[in-house]
A and B are shown apart, each in its own frame.
Chain A
Amino acid sequence: MAKYILKRFIMMIATILIISTLTFVLMHSIPGSPFDEERTSNPTIQANLEKFYKLDEPMHVQYLYYLKSIVTFDFGPSIKKPNESVNELLARGFPISFELGMVTILVALLSGTILGTLAALRHNGIIDYLAMTFAVVGISVPNFVLATLLIQQVAVTWELLPAATWSSPLHMILPILALATGPTAIIARLTRSSMLEVLTQDYIKMANAKGLSPIRIVIRHALRNALMPVVTIMGTMLAGILTGTFVIEKIFAIPGMGKYFVESINNRDYPVIMGSTVFYSAFLVFMLFLVDIVYGFLDPRIKLHRKEGDA
């Protein structure tokens, strides 16, 4: 176990390094510089600013400074808002994005598995058809379209829920709905098909032959096995949801990381771009790592633990 974790940890570091380097290269290959818009500023001020942000140095030196800032996790101040450090921006935006992403994934997991399981248990019944219709629609409608529709209908026409911002649980409902529908649909479909397969397995027949209650059979014997494929896609799904939050944050005017991230790219605010990308990718890679551990925990056949003697 420890060896496995160490290996994964080293891979994690390598991944983050690669992503950061790519970010650096991409960032500097986008035309334009942070000071393009400031036509008023005179050349001396601009030169001073560039010096302050080390933009006058050659690329490879900048890269080294960049690596140093990653290791120390200190990206310095933002270029656009010089009185705020990148770390402060992250500390303000990330918790909100995190909350949105985590609640979304929880909602999607819970409702997706319940929906998929019910559909499988009522195979070819009404619940099954309804759930699968929902799934097809849910998978095909992009979340930003859904978000606009929800704002239009629920918030504007019916005036049931607030249309924007992130100030109370009530405000959270629409963005989460918009963001969770797609993943819910995917999880529901996956759970249904894998549940249908699991239900034909011998060990389910054996559980029936033991005279166990149907509820126990589904929850104790079937669900855990049926959820394996769901866990395997959790990693990519998580990535999708967490990046999806950027768009949703923009639409619902939620002051999460997405907001700063999008602004920073538009402004070529290099420190913010670098800081948020590195931080975000580190977070994602770490989540994927967690998913792997959870998978090993769910499926005892995965050799996370030390080898034990076979009989």
Chain B
Amino acid sequence: MVNERKKKEKKMMSSEKVLQVNNLKISFRTYGGEVEAVRGVDFDLYKGETLAIVGESGCGKSVTSNAIMGLIPQPPGIIKNGSILFKEKDLTKLSKTQLRKIQGVDISMIFQDPMTALNPTLTIGEQLTEGLRTHKKIGKKEAKEKAIDMLKLVGIPNPEERLKQFPHQFSGGMRQRIVIAIALICEPQVLIADEPTTALDVTIQAQILELFEEIQLKKGISIILITHDLGVVAKIADRIAVMYAGKIVEIGDKREIFYTPEHPYTKGLLNSVPRLDLMEEELQPIDGTPPDLFSPPKGCPFTARCDYAMEVCDYAYPFSTKISETHEVDCWLQDERANVLQAQNKIG
């Protein structure tokens, strides 16, 4: 426990932005029409932090992270608007060849299912070193040494022999460690983890999360962590972005989001999580379903499910309001005129 606290204190957090996502809009052309999967997402990622993106299934978390990774298939995907700035370059404007110099080198990704993320016909050694050898132009021997170091870092015993083995010779947890090693071998500045622990059982989950913390401490990388699991968020996130229907509706420090959530959707999410300290209160899943992204509403997308919805919510998307230096929320309740209205509602 003491150790853990020390870790947290030592963790480097700076105000240096490594990644800036501005008004990102992404759609997919399908037979049924155009799906507006991401509808204007803004956030910054700071050096050495872990930013968690949470939200219901289908809200656009994976699409956002794939866009940063340059993995949106085009077609059917279209980046309609916005920019992703990394090292003064807009990733959305780069050619495929230029992107490849960044993928896996500066920005890496960890996938959800370690059982399918590794190629069954190639050895672990090859899968570990191929990125390194492509990008860093180093020799076989050097690459192998680096691979052994990485396997040690992620906690795989007998790395030298393990390099010659194939994915099916490893358990799920081990495979996820290998996937992490692969993502980290070129020493990226940004690591995107799309539900990295969802496919693993609970004890392994905890180990993998610890590994994340340890690596962040050692390497000072920034992590974007996508998850459904608020328990995971509570454990390792520094900041939290709450996504709903293709937008970030609230973003803030972990404490701000957990203790003083402002958006009704965030509150709903937190209420739908079992909490040990509030045993007696019943769980309240949010009623209703998110809006259809084929024709998203022009107002606040949460209107249909929101207990506080007002007339204005229906026809105009709320402005973003700064609650604190770090805490921002998109909700009409923040408008000073809303207080009056809500008060009236309560009386009436």
Contacts and interface: CB of A to CB of B under 8 A. Distances in A.
A71 B99 CA distance: 65
B272 interface: no
A171 to B, nearest CB: 40
Given A210-B104, A311-B162, 10 more contacts: A202-B113, A202-B117, A205-B117, A206-B117, A209-B108, A211-B99, A211-B105, A308-B165, A311-B171, A311-B174
Contacts of A310: 169-171
Interface string A276-311: 000000000000000000000011110000001111
Contact of A301 (B69, B105, B166, B170): B166
A310 B104 CA distance: 29
Contact of B120 (A208, A210, A211, A301): A301
Interface residues of B, number: 34
B155 to A, nearest CB: 12
A92 interface: no
A202 B108 CA distance: 15
Nearest to A221: B119
A301 B168 contact: yes
Interface in A11-27: none
B169 A311 contact: yes
B118 interface: yes
Nearest to B162: A311
A4 B69 CA distance: 45
Interface stretch (A73-81, A83-91, A154-162, A212-220): A212-220
A225 interface: yes
Contacts of B179: 206
Nearest to A298: B121
B121 A210 contact: no
Nearest to A222: B119
B110 to A, nearest CB: 9
B102 interface: yes
Given A216-B134, A308-B169, A310-B169, A211 B119 contact: no
A177 B278 CA distance: 77
Interface in B99-157: 99-105, 108-109, 111, 113, 116-122, 130-131, 134-135
Contacts of A298: 121
B241 interface: no
Contacts of A206: 109, 111, 117-119, 179, 182
Interface in A104-158: none
A113 to B, nearest CB: 16
A207 interface: yes
B173 to A, nearest CB: 9
B117 A211 contact: no
Contacts of B165: 308
B130 to A, nearest CB: 7
A201 B115 CA distance: 11
A211 B116 contact: no
A300 B120 contact: yes
A220 B135 CA distance: 17
Nearest to A208: B71
A301 B170 CA distance: 12
A221 B118 CA distance: 10
B130 A210 contact: yes
A23 B262 CA distance: 85
Given A203-B119, A300-B120, A301-B166, A211 B111 contact: no
A299 B167 CA distance: 11
Nearest to B115: A202
Query: Which of B104, B111, B121, B134 counts the most A-chain CB atoms under 10 A from its CB?
Result: B121
Contacts of A68: none
B69 A209 contact: yes
Contacts of B120: 203, 225, 299-301
Interface string B184-225: 000000000000000000000000000000000000000000
Given A211-B103, A220-B122, A203 B134 contact: no
A44 B285 CA distance: 102
A202 B116 contact: yes
Interface of B: 69, 71, 99-105, 108-109, 111, 113, 116-122, 130-131, 134-135, 162, 165-166, 168-171, 174, 179, 182
B103 A210 contact: yes
A216 B99 CA distance: 16
A299 B104 CA distance: 27
Contacts of A211: 99-105, 131, 134-135
A224 interface: yes
17 contacts: A202-B117, A203-B120, A206-B119, A208-B71, A208-B103, A209-B69, A209-B104, A209-B108, A209-B109, A211-B131, A212-B131, A212-B134, A220-B130, A224-B121, A225-B121, A300-B166, A301-B166
Contacts of B169: 308-311
B185 to A, nearest CB: 9
Interface in A166-207: 201-203, 205-207
B108 A212 contact: no
Closest 10 pairs (CB-CB, A-B): A211-B103, A210-B104, A210-B131, A202-B116, A211-B100, A211-B104, A203-B119, A300-B166, A209-B109, A311-B170
Contacts of B171: 310-311
Nearest to B165: A308
A195 to B, nearest CB: 14
Nearest to B106: A211
Contacts of A209: 69, 71, 103-104, 108-109
B121 A201 contact: no
Contacts of A299: 120-121
**Residue of B103, B119, B169, B171 with most partner-chain A CB within 10 A:** B119
Nearest to B120: A301
Contacts of A212: 100, 104, 130-131, 134
B182 A210 contact: yes
A213 B100 contact: yes
A90 to B, nearest CB: 39
